[in-house]
Amino acid sequence: MRVLISLIIIASCAATCVAQKPEFSCSMFSLKLRSSNPASIERQELNEFGHFDIEGTMEEEPIIRFFRVPNTRWFAVFRLFTSDESMVSKTGIGSIELELSFARNRRRNILTSPAVASAETPFKTFDVVRVRTVVLLDNHRHLVGVECKAP
């Protein structure tokens, strides 16, 4: 009986230690496009307004995160979705889809979003993926994006 309890404790500790390593590390960034002059846009710096780690993904279980876009009344909505049915590559089946949309409240609805962007990449060769879009929020143009990296 003691051996069984010891094995259960060791197994739960091992699962906890494995779960602490993030599977993905993601950052949200924005750039307010005040001018149409490319030289002035190049001088501006990206504003990182959200960072999060994704500990684990389940197949066909979406992960959704909301972050307020700085100096606006809008939320940037990030969605990550993994599937083994969407994209087949030389490395096998399985893909990661990233989606970026916008909402006035903490609720995802791509049909009412002023802009939607998405990207898909094979899961096994995943290193880094970036999604970005130009969107008009509160009468100002913004370049908003998300970048996810494998550790």
Q: What is the pTM of this model?
A: 0.77
User: Which of 73, 96, 77, 88 minimizes the C-alpha distance to 24?
Assistant: 96
Q: Where are the alpha helices (H) located in the chain, listed in sequence order?
A: 2-19, 38-43
Residues 112-137: pLDDT tens digits?
Answer: 999 999 998 887 777 899 999 999 99
> What does the block give as tokens for 77?
């909505």
E strand or H helix that includes residue 33? strand 24-33
Distance between CA atoms of residues 48 and 144, nearest Å: 10
**40 φ, ψ (degrees, to nearest 5):** -75, -30
